[in-house]
C-alpha cells in the first residue's frame, strides 16, 4: 500500500481542523472583544474629557459674567484657570467669546492667538447653534480628538471652549491589550494542539487499526481481530469489522471450496468447456478444450469465441446466443478425421439479462466414424446380398420361363444359383463370426500347442489342395515354440491370410511363410508376389467389406470379411496384425501372438493337436 504523506494522515488533518476551529473562534472573539474595547475606551476618553470641559465651561461662565473694573483682567483670570486643566493628553484648550474672539489658550507656546478671531468651523457652529460638537482627526501619524463646547448663561451662548486632545494613549492601551490577547491565543493554541493530538489519537488509533486490518484482509489473513478501545460508535464499528471479517472468512472458505470443486470438475472433464463474458470474449477455457482446438490458453483469453471456434465467417456472437444450440466443427484432414460437436448454453441473470455464453465441446470423431462405418456396413451388406440375389432371381426367372427344359442351359443355370447360394451362406457365416467376436461374453477354447509343428500342418494342407502353379517357401525355425491359443480360431486366421495370398499370386509365383520370435511374442508372416496394394489403401484392408479391387475379389468369390475376421481374432488373442506391400512386387501380412516367455520344460507337457 502507498505510504500516506504527512498532511494526508487523518490524525494530522483532525488536529489541524481542531486548531483551525479554535483559531477561528479566537479570532471572532478577538475581533468582537477588541472592537468593543476600543469603543468603550474611546467613549470613556471622550466622557472624561467632556466632564472636565463641562466643569471648565462652568468656571468660564462665572468669570465671563463677573463684573470687573478692569476688563483686561478677564484674560489673565482665564489663563490661570486653564493652567489647572493642563495634562499629558490635552494638547490645547481655547476659550472663545460670543464674538469668535479667543480670550484664552492653555498652550503657553500659542498665546499669540489670544485676542484674535477664531476661524475654527466647530467653534463657529457651536456659537451659532449652541450645540456641543466633536470629531476624531489624523494629525500626521497620530489621532487627535477635538471638541467644541458652548458656554451658556441664562440660556444664551456667551462663548465656546475648543479642546484638542491626543488619543494615542488610548490606542496604545488597546494595542497592549491586543498583544496580550494574541499571546494568550498562542498559548491557548499550543495547549489546544497538544490536546487535539491526544484527542485525535483516541479516534485515529482504532481507525488506523481497522485500516491495517483491512490490509490484512486484502492479503487473505482473516485470523487477526481489531482491538476494541471502547463502546462508542468507533468501538461498535471495530466490533462490526471483526464480525465482517469472520463472515468474509466463512464466505471465502465456501467460495474457495466451490472454486476448487469447479476447477477440479473442469480439469478432469473429458469434454471441453469455454466460458465468455457478455461481449463474447473468452474468460475461461479448460485443458481439454485447449487440446481439442490445439490453441494456446494465453492467446485465446479475451478473444472472441466466434473467432476461436472458427465460426466468424458464418455467425456473429448474437446469433450464437439467440439462434444456435449446437454446431459441428470439422477439422478433418486427408490423413486424419477429427470432428467436434459444440453445444451452446446462455448464462442469464435472474433479471433475464444475458451475462455470457458457455460452449461445451465433445470429440465425436469416434461416434461419427462408427456411424459412418455402420452406414457403410449396412450398404456393403445390402450390396453383397443384392448381387447374388439379383443373379439368382434372373436365372430362376429364366428357368421358370422354360429354360429348365433345355438340357444344356438348365444345368448351367442351376450351377450358377448354387454358387451364388453358397456365396451368400459364406457371407452370412462370416457375419455371424464377426457378431460373435463383437460379443463381450465370447469365450475361446485355448490350449497349449507347438506352434511350429501346427503351422507346418496348415501349410501342408494348402500345399496339397492348391490348384494353381504356386510354390511355397517356409522360413520357419526348427525348434518348438509353445503357445496357449484357440487352434480353431487361429486356423481361421491363417486360412484367410493364406487364401488371400494364393488368390492374388500369379502363376509360377511364390508364397513365403515366416515365423520369428521377439520380445515375448512370435511374428507370423505370409507373403505373396501379387500386384500389391497402394499405400493409401494398405491400412484399410482389415476393414469390413473393404476391397482394393472389388471386381476381381467378387470374381474370386471373396466376401470382403476375411481379413476383418482375422484381425478380430488376432486382437482377441492379444496380438497385432498389419500388412506391408509394394505395388508390382507383392504383399506380406504379419500378425503376432504372445508367448509366456518361458519355453523350457514345455515340450513334455505338449499335447499334439
Cα dist from 500 to 33, 437, 563, whole Å: 129, 21, 9
CA distance 407 to 394: 18
Say if CB 85 and CB 93 are below 8 A apart. Answer: yes
Which residue is associated with the grid cell 477635538?
A: 146
303 and 279 belong to one structural domain: yes
Say if CB 93 and CB 147 are below 8 A apart. Answer: no
328 and 375 belong to one structural domain: no
Centre a 10 Å sphere on the Cβ of residue 358 and count the other Cβ atoms it contains: 15
469 and 537 belong to one structural domain: yes
**Grid coordinates of 464:** 496339397
Q: What are phi and psi of 411, to 5 degrees?
A: -60, -35
Strand order in the sheet with 142-153: 102-105, 90-97, 156-166, 142-153, 133-139
Q: What's the total number of domains in the chain?
A: 4
576 and 455 belong to one structural domain: yes
Q: What is the pLDDT of residues 219-254, one digit of tens each?
A: 777 677 777 766 777 777 778 877 877 887 788 788
Kindly report the CATH number assigned to the domain that includes residue 503.
3.30.565.10
Say if CB 358 and CB 347 are below 8 A apart. Answer: yes
Q: How many CA atoms lie within 13 A of 263 on its CB side?
A: 6
Cβ-count burial of 508 within 10 angstroms (0-12 exposed, 13-18 middle, 19+ buried)? exposed
In a domain, 265, yes or no: no
Instruction: Give the pLDDT confidence score for residue 354 in this predicted structure.
Output: 83
CA distance 96 to 238: 84
50 and 71 belong to one structural domain: yes
Cα dist from 390 to 387, 409, 420, 424, 554, whole Å: 5, 18, 10, 12, 14
In a domain, 568, yes or no: yes
- The pTM (predicted TM-score) of the whole model is 0.41
Q: How many CA atoms lie within 13 A of 103 on its CB side?
A: 25
Q: What is the dihedral of CA 331, 333, 335, 341, to 10 degrees?
A: 20
CA distance 117 to 113: 8
Q: What are phi and psi of 243, to 5 degrees?
A: -65, -40
* The last residue of a domain, from among 174, 189, 213: 174
In a domain, 109, yes or no: yes
463 and 513 belong to one structural domain: yes
Kindly report the CATH number assigned to the domain that includes residue 334.
3.30.450.20
Give the structural domain span for 433: 369-438
In a domain, 256, yes or no: no
Instruction: Give the pLDDT confidence score for residue 544 in this predicted structure.
Output: 66
Measured in whole angstroms, the distance separating CA 159 from the mean position of its chain's CA atoms is 101
* The last residue of a domain, from among 156, 174, 192: 174
* The last residue of a domain, from among 358, 378, 400: 358
16 and 158 belong to one structural domain: yes
Q: What are phi and psi of 306, to 5 degrees?
A: -65, -40
Ordered mean pLDDT values, 10 residues apiece, the chain (609 residues): 52 74 82 83 84 84 76 77 78 85 83 83 86 84 86 86 85 84 83 77 73 75 71 75 79 80 74 87 86 86 87 85 85 80 85 84 80 66 66 76 75 76 68 61 77 90 82 90 87 86 86 90 91 79 65 49 79 88 88 73 47
379 and 352 belong to one structural domain: no
458 and 309 belong to one structural domain: no
Measured CA angle at 369 (ends 285, 378), to 5 deg: 155
Instruction: Give the pLDDT confidence score for residue 434 in this predicted structure.
Output: 60
Instruction: Give the pLDDT confidence score for residue 523 in this predicted structure.
Output: 93
21 and 164 belong to one structural domain: yes
User: What Rg do the C-alpha atoms of the chain give, in angstroms?
Assistant: 65
In a domain, 567, yes or no: yes
Q: What is the pLDDT of residues 117-132, one digit of tens each?
A: 888 888 888 888 888 8
Cα dist from 341 to 269, 289, 303, 307, 337, whole Å: 15, 12, 20, 16, 13
123 and 42 belong to one structural domain: yes
Amino acid at each position: 500500500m502507498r505510504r500516506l504523506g504527512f498532511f494526508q494522515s487523518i490524525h494530522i488533518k483532525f488536529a489541524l481542523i481542531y486548531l483551525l476551529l479554535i483559531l477561528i473562534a479566537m479570532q471572532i472573539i478577538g475581533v468582537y472583544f477588541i472592537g468593543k474595547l476600543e469603543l468603550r475606551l474611546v467613549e470613556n476618553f471622550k466622557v472624561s474629557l467632556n466632564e472636565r470641559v463641562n466643569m471648565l465651561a462652568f468656571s468660564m461662565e462665572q468669570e465671563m459674567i463677573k463684573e470687573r473694573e478692569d476688563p483686561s483682567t478677564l484674560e489673565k483670570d482665564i489663563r490661570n484657570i486653564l493652567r489647572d486643566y493642563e495634562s499629558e493628553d490635552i494638547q490645547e484648550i481655547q476659550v472663545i467669546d460670543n464674538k469668535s474672539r479667543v480670550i484664552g489658550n492653555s498652550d503657553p507656546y500659542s498665546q499669540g492667538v489670544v485676542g484674535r478671531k477664531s476661524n475654527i468651523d466647530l467653534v463657529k457652529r457651536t456659537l451659532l447653534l449652541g450645540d456641543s460638537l466633536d470629531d476624531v482627526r489624523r494629525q500626521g501619524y497620530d489621532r487627535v480628538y477635538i471638541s467644541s463646547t458652548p458656554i451658556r448663561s441664562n440660556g444664551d451662548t456667551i462663548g465656546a471652549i475648543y479642546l484638542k486632545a491626543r488619543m494615542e494613549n488610548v490606542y496604545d492601551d488597546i494595542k497592549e491589550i491586543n498583544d496580550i490577547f494574541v499571546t494568550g491565543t498562542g498559548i491557548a493554541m499550543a495547549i489546544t494542539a497538544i490536546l487535539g493530538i491526544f484527542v485525535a489519537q483516541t479516534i485515529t488509533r482504532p481507525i488506523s487499526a481497522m485500516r491495517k486490518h483491512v490490509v490484512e484482509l486484502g492479503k487473505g489473513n482473516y485470523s487477526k481481530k481489531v482491538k476494541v478501545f471502547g463502546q462508542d460508535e468507533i468501538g461498535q464499528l471495530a466490533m462490526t469489522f471483526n464480525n465482517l471479517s469472520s463472515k468474509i472468512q466463512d464466505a471465502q472458505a465456501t467460495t474457495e471450496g466451490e472454486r476448487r470443486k469447479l476447477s477440479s470438475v473442469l480439469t478432469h472433464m473429458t469434454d471441453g468447456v469455454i466460458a465468455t463474458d457478455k461481449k463474447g470474449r473468452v474468460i475461461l477455457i479448460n485443458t481439454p478444450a485447449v487440446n481439442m482446438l490445439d490453441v494456446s490458453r494465453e492467446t485465446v483469453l479475451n478473444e472472441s469465441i466466434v473467432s476461436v471456434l472458427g465460426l466468424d465467417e458464418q455467425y456473429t456472437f448474437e446469433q450464437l446466443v439467440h439462434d444456435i444450440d449446437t454446431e459441428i466443427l470439422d477439422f478433418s484432414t486427408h490423413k486424419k478425421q477429427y470432428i467436434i460437436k459444440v453445444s451452446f448454453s446462455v448464462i442469464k441473470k435472474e433479471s433475464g439479462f444475458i451475462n455470457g455464453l458457455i460452449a461445451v465441446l465433445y470429440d465425436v470423431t469416434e461416434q461419427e466414424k462408427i456411424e459412418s462405418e455402420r452406414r457403410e456396413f449396412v450398404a456393403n451388406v445390402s450390396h453383397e446380398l443384392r448381387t447374388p440375389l439379383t443373379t439368382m432371381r434372373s436365372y430362376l426367372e429364366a428357368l421358370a420361363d422354360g429354360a429348365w427344359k433345355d438340357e444344356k442351359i438348365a444345368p448351367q443355370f442351376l450351377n450358377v444359383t448354387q454358387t451364388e447360394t453358397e456365396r451368400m451362406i459364406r457371407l452370412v457365416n462370416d457375419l455371424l463370426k464377426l457378431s460373435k467376436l463383437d460379443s463381450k461374453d465370447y469365450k475361446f477354447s485355448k490350449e497349449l500347442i507347438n506352434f511350429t509343428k501346427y503351422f507346418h500342418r496348415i501349410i501342408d494342407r494348402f500345399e496339397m489342395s492348391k490348384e494353381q502353379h504356386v510354390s511355397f517357401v517356409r522360413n520357419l525355425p526348427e525348434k518348438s515354440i509353445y503357445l496357449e491359443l484357440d487352434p480353431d480360431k487361429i486356423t481361421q486366421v491363417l486360412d484367410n491370410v493364406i487364401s488371400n495370398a494364393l488368390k492374388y499370386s500369379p502363376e509360377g509365383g511364390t508364397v513365403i511363410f515366416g515365423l520369428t520370435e521377439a520380445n515375448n511374442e512370435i511374428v507370423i508372416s505370409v507373403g505373396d508376389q501379387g500386384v500389391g496394394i497402394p499405400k493409401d489403401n494398405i491400412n484399410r484392408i482389415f476393414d469390413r467389406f473393404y476391397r482394393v479391387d472389388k471386381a476381381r475379389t467378387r470374381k474370386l468369390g471373396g466376401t470382403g470379411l476375411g481379413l476383418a475376421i482375422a484381425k478380430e481374432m488376432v486382437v482377441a488373442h492379444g496380438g497385432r496384425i498389419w500388412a506391408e506391400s509394394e505395388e508390382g512386387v507383392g504383399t506380406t501380412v504379419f500378425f503376432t501372438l504372445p508367448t509366456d516367455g518361458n519355453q523350457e520344460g514345455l515340450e513334455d507337457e505338449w499335447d499334439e493337436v
